[in-house]
A and B are shown apart, each in its own frame.
Chain A
Amino acid sequence: MNPLLSLEAVGKSYLRGPHRLRVLKDVALDVAAGQLIAVWGKRGAGKTTLLKIAARLEKPDQGVVRFDGVDLATLREAEHTRLMLEKIGWVRRAGPKSDLEMLDYVALPRLAERGRRQAYALAREALERVGMAECAGQRWGSLSDGERSLVAIAHGIVRAPKLLLVDDPTANLDVIEREQVNGLLRSLADEEGIAVLMTVPDMPALMHAHHIASLSGGRLAVPPPEPPELSHEPPRDEEPGRVIQLRSREQSA
């Protein structure tokens, strides 16, 4: 299966005070149509940077990012803008900057291109698809965290993108809301063939992903194929990771 999105040997660093912080080191990742790939890492591990580089919202210091076989660095600004408008959906729970009703907010990405009537019809469809049709007349401030996640996904899919980039969609959600959001993302991949790349700091949110990669110390680890010879001795080289549990809203309530 040819990847829709491909990151090859991507590196990125930032200057933080006098020090250069290497956020991504030699990162390689493929995401194909119909796949949900989750990148897990602690807060500050570079997950959002990875997503921004995947959409060319940031430029990598090294490496190549290809979308549908095209090196994003070779696109002119207008071509990149068109790509972002037509093929890449970006899901963040920042919400609208003004006091819009949710139907207006979800329709926004299509208003200029499709006109009012069609944009609103598509926005209704997108809200329906994520199970939030009844929130069309509500405003961001009146929604729960779970509802905001779902509306943000509707805002991301209203353009019918080929690739959906989703930044930490399950933060602060309770158990059921998290399952709802992750089940939705999986079904967007399975049913609509969208390539979904999502980042999560919370491991139980990973379970619906087709594949999971973990980002730590700038390195992206993907489960390798089976090693040729497996020792039956417990591993001694380093301690395996342990899940450190975050208290969810439901538990801490």
Chain B
Amino acid sequence: MLELREVVKHYRIGEGEPIRAVDGVSLTVKEGELVALYGPSGSGKSTLLLLIAALLRPDSGAVVLDGRDISGLSDQQAARYRLRELGFVRQTLNLTPGVSALDNAALKLMGMDVRARQARERVTPLMDELGLSDRLRHRPDQLSMGERQRVMIARALSTEPKLVLADEPTGSLDSRRGKEVLELLTGICRARRLAVVLVTHDPQAAAYADRVHTLRDGQLSDYAPERALACADAG
């Protein structure tokens, strides 16, 4: 379903040497498959997700989804792709202060011009699945970090995407809440046969993935638990 072919993205800061954020990465993810990418901070994980989300363009290589090269889309086509086909669970919990958890979760649908009432109705079953049925009217400041992350997951999945990108979904959580969030995220995505790319430096995420790769200095290699632990230490 998703195929990365020799994707390269280098940055240059000032006059310095280019940073090889993503350096010839090839990867395939099938429908219903969850692939985890380990790596320390600065290993290129988030850049890779931004490339798959068509928020960045690769210097070379291709990002192919269902046979279509995402990296070749116009800006407008890329915007349409992000809205309709992609669910993006980001590292930062950007909930709107003062607004209910339900409305925060329904925001992406409302942004697609679904009427507010319908958007709330569509997202409510997801909130139930994510264990938030008694938190619908709570504001972000009345939610735990784990609950805030679950609202972000509900928002990402609300548009029924084919592909879910999760950037450090447990990054701001303690180990117990991280486990809860991973179980809920992976359970819902498996039930819907969604393709998931999860980037993390949390070794416990390995237990939830079908395949795990390590990303270091922009290059992908097969997963080795001891290397993942080294990455977690470094990250």
Contact A204 B145, beta carbon cutoff 8 Å: no
Query: How many residues in B have their beta carbons less than 8 Å from beta carbons of A?
Result: 47
Measured between beta carbons, the chain B residues less than 8 angstroms from A245 are: 110, 115-116
**Interface check A187, CB cutoff 8 A:** yes
What is the bound-complex CA distance between A186 and B113, given in angstroms? 22
User: Among A67-75, A107-115, A215-223, which stretch is in contact with chain B?
Assistant: A215-223
A176 at the interface (CB under 8 A from B): yes
Q: CB distance B76 to A186 under 8 Å?
A: no
A183–B116 touching, CB < 8 Å: no
CB distance from B110 to the nearest CB of A (A): 5
In chain A between 197 and 253, which residues have their CB closer than 8 angstroms to a CB of chain B? 203-207, 209-214, 216, 221-224, 226-227, 230-232, 234-235, 240-245, 248, 250-251
Contact B141 A207, beta carbon cutoff 8 Å? no
Known: A191-B56, A214-B96, A226-B145. A204 touches B111 (CB 8 A): yes
Residue A131 CB within 8 A of the other chain: yes
Chain B residue, CB-CB nearest to A178: B111
Q: B21 → chain A, closest Cβ, in Å?
A: 10
- In the complex, residue of chain A having the shortest beta-carbon distance to the beta carbon of B113: A251
Residues in B whose Cβ lies below 8 Å from that of A243: 99, 103, 106-107, 110, 116
Residue in A38, A175, A177, A226 whose Cβ sees the most chain B Cβ within 10 Å: A226
Q: How many A-B residue pairs have CB under 8 A?
A: 135
Instruction: Give Cα A145–Cα B55 distance, bound, in whole angstroms.
Output: 21
Cβ B13 vs Cβ A180 within 8 A: no
Residues on B with C-beta less than 8 A from A231 are 142
Cβ distance A237 to chain B, nearest Cβ, rounded Å: 9
Residues 134-158 of A at the B interface (beta carbon under 8 Å): none
> When A241-B103, A250-B113 are in contact, do A180 and B76 touch as well, CB less than 8 Å?
yes
Please give me the residue from chain B that is nearest to A206 by CB atom. B96
Query: What secondary structure prevails in chain A residues at the interface with B?
Result: mixed
A212 & B97 in contact (Cβ 8 Å cutoff): yes
Name the interface residues of B1-32: CB closer than 8 Å to any CB of A: 11, 13
With A186-B55, A230-B142 as known contacts, state yes or no: A203 contacts B110, CB within 8 Å: yes
Number of A residues near B (Cβ < 8 Å) is 48
Contacts of B83 in A (CB 8 A): 175-176, 179
* Per-residue B-contact encoding for A159-198, CB less than 8 Å = 1, 0 else: 0000000000000000111111001101100110100000
> Residues on B close to A: CB < 8 A?
11, 13, 46, 50, 54-56, 74-76, 78-80, 82-83, 92-101, 103, 106-108, 110-113, 115-116, 134, 137-145, 148, 155
Kindly list 12 other residue pairs between chains A and B, CB separation below 8 angstroms, not including A204-B112, A240-B138: A38-B94, A131-B74, A178-B111, A183-B55, A187-B56, A204-B107, A207-B94, A209-B94, A212-B97, A221-B97, A240-B100, A243-B103
Cross-chain pairs A/B with CB under 8 angstroms, 24 sampled = A131-B76, A175-B83, A179-B80, A180-B75, A190-B50, A191-B50, A193-B13, A206-B96, A207-B108, A211-B94, A212-B96, A213-B97, A221-B98, A222-B97, A226-B145, A234-B134, A240-B99, A240-B101, A241-B99, A241-B103, A242-B99, A243-B99, A243-B107, A251-B113
